[in-house]
Structure 1
Amino acid sequence: MTRIAIIGAGISGLTTAFLLERQAQAAGLDLEIVVLEKKDRIGGKIWSIRDEGFLCEWGPNGFLDSKPWTLELCEQLDIRNRLLRSDDNARKRYIFSEGVLHRLPENGAMFLKSKLISWPGKLRLSGEMLIPAKRDGEDETLADFGRRRLGAEALDKLIAPMVSGIFAGDPETMSLKSCFPRIQQLEEEYGGLVKAMVKLAKKKKKEIKEGKQVASAAGPGGVLTSFTGGIQELTDGTAVKVRGEIRKAASIERILRKDGGFELRFEGGGTLDADVVVSAAPAHALAEMAVGLDDALVTLLNEIPYAPMNVICFGYERDKVAHSLDGFGYLIPRKEGCSTLGTLWDSSIFPNRAPEGMVLLRSMMGGAANPGAIEFSDAEVRARTLADLNAAMGIAAEPDFVRIFRHPQAIPQYIVGHAKRLAALDERLQDIPGLYLTGNAFYGIGLNDCVHASHQVVERVIQGLNAKAG
Structure 2
Amino acid sequence: MKKVIVIGGGISGLATAWLLRDKARTAGVELDLALLEKEERVGGKIWSIKADGYTCEWGPNGFLDSKPQTLELCSAIGVNDNLHRSNDNARKRFIFSGGELHQLPENGASFLKSRLISWPGKLRLALEPTPFIAKAPQGVDETLAAFGRRRLGKEALDKLIAPMVSGIFAGDPETMSLVSCFPRIAELEREYGGLVRAMIMLARKKKRERAEGKAVSSAAGPGGVLTSFREGIQYLTDALSASLGDAVKPASPVVAVEKGQSVPYRVRCADGSEREADVVIVAAPAFATADMLTGLDAGLSGVLRQIPYATMTVICFGYERDRIAHPLDGFGYLVPKKEGRSILGTLWDSSMFENRAPEGKVLLRSMMGGACFPEYVKLSDDEVTARVKRDLKDTMGIDVDPSFVRIFRHEQAIPQYTAGHGKRLEALGAGLSAHPGLILTGNSYRGIGLNDCVAAAQRASDEALELL
Which TM class, normalised by the smaller chain length? over 0.9
C-alpha RMSD of the superposition: 1.1
- For residues 300 and 214 of structure 1, what CA distance do their matches in structure 2 show? 37
Residues of 2 paired with 1:70 and 1:413: CA distance?
A: 23
Structure 1 residue 135, shift from structure 2 partner: 6.6
- 2:247 aligned partner: 245
Q: Once the 2 structures are TM-superposed, how far is the Cα of residue 89 of structure 1 from its aligned partner?
A: 1.5
Q: How does 1:304-383 map to 2 (within 5 A)?
A: 304-383=307-386
Shift of 1:208: 2.0
Q: Distance in 2 between matches of 1:376 and 1:450?
A: 31
Partner residue of 1:426?
429
* Farther-moved stretch of structure 1 (123-132 vs 260-269): 260-269
* Superposition TM-score, scaled by structure 1 size: 0.97
Q: Deviations over 1:13-34 (max 9, x none)?
A: 0111111111111111111110
* One-letter amino acid of the structure 2 residue matched with residue 258 of structure 1: G
The answer to whether the 8 A contact 2:180-2:417 is kept is yes
Q: Which residue of 1 aligns with 2:235?
A: 233
SS of 2:128's equivalent in the other structure is helix
Q: What SS is found at the alignment partner of 1:111?
A: helix
The percent of aligned pairs where both chains have the same amino acid is: 62
Q: Distance in 1 between matches of 2:357 and 2:181?
A: 33
Aligned to 2:157: 155
1:93–1:329 Cα contact (<8 Å) kept: yes
Cα deviation, 1:50-97, whole Å, max 9, x if unaligned, reads 100000000000000010000000010111111111110210000000
Task: Return the letter of the residue paired with 1:461.
Answer: A
The one-letter code sitting in structure 2 at the alignment partner of 1:96 is F
- SS of the equivalent of 2:39 reads coil
Counterpart in 2 of 1:292?
A: 295
- Report the more deviating stretch, 371-380 or 271-280: 271-280
Distance of 1:243 and 1:138 partners within structure 2: 47
The CA distance in 1 between the partners of 2:58 and 2:330, in whole Å, is 21
User: Cα offset for 1:233?
Assistant: 0.8
AA paired with 2:256?
Answer: R
Contact 2:7 2:13 in 1 (8 A): yes
Q: CA deviation at 1:242?
A: 1.7
The alignment status of 1:390 with 2:383, answered yes or no, reads no
Aligned counterpart, 1:200: 202
Q: Does 1:166 align with 2:168?
A: yes
Distance across 2 between alignment mates of 1:215 and 1:268 = 50
C-alpha deviation, 1:268, in angstroms: 3.1
Give 1:283's aligned residue.
Answer: 286
CA distances 1:392-414 after superposition (whole Å, capped 9, x unpaired): 00111111000000000000000
On the 8 A contact 2:206/2:215 being kept in 1, the answer is: no
Report the secondary structure of 2:40's partner residue.
coil
Secondary structure of the equivalent of 2:35? strand
> C-alpha deviations, 1:81-130, integer Å up to 9, x for none?
11111110210000000111001011001100000000000000011011
Moved more, 131-140 or 254-263: 131-140
In structure 1, how many angstroms separate the alpha carbons of the residues matched to 2:182 and 2:384?
31
Distance in 2 of aligned mates of 1:5 and 1:296: 22
The residue that corresponds to 2:138 in the other structure is 136
Q: Is the 8 A contact 1:132 1:191 kept in 2?
A: no
Residue 135 of structure 1 contacts residue 188 of structure 1 at CA under 8 Å; is this kept in 2? no
Give the aligned partner of residue 104 of structure 2. Answer: 104
Residues 160-191 of structure 1: per-residue CA shift (max 9 Å, x gap): 00000000000000000100000000000000
Once the two structures are TM-superposed, the CA of residue 432 in structure 1 deviates from its matched residue by 1.3
Residue segments in structure 2 that go unaligned for 5+ positions in a row = none
- 1:362–1:240 distance in 2 versus 1, CA, 3 Å: same
User: How far does residue 219 in structure 1 lie from its aligned partner after superposition?
Assistant: 2.6
**TM-score after normalising by structure 2:** 0.98
One of 199, 219, 222 as aligned partner of 1:220: 222
- What one-letter code is carried by the residue in structure 2 that aligns with 1:335? K
Please report how far the alpha carbon of residue 217 of structure 1 lies from its aligned counterpart in structure 2 after TM superposition: 4.8
Distance 1:159 1:351 in 2: 29
Partner residue in 2 for 1:451? 454
The answer to whether structure 1 residue 31 and structure 2 residue 31 are counterparts is: yes
SS in 1 for 2:129: helix
The answer to whether the 8 Å contact 1:178/1:419 transfers is yes
Following superposition, the deviation at residue 389 of structure 1 comes to 0.4
Question: In structure 2, how many angstroms separate the alpha carbons of the residues matched to 1:218 and 1:160?
Answer: 17
Distance 1:177 1:243 in 2: 39
Paired positions, count: 465
Partner of 1:49: 49
Instruction: Check the 8 A contact 1:35/1:244 in 2, yes or no.
Output: no
1:263-289 deviation per Cα after TM superposition (whole angstroms, max 9, x unaligned): 222113222222211000000011111
Report the counterpart of residue 468 of structure 1 in structure 2: none
Contact 1:140/1:176 (CA < 8 Å) preserved in 2?
Answer: yes
Q: Structure 1 stretch 339-348 or stretch 213-222: which is displaced more?
A: 213-222
Counterpart residue identity of residue 277, structure 1: V
Segments of 5+ residues of structure 1 without an aligned counterpart are 466-470
Does the 8 A contact of 1:186 with 1:196 survive in 2? yes
For 1:217 and 1:377, the matched residues in 2 are separated by 42
Residue 182 of structure 2: aligned partner: 180
Look up the SS of the partner of 1:326 in the other structure. Answer: coil
Q: Is the 8 A contact 2:282 2:440 kept in 1?
A: yes
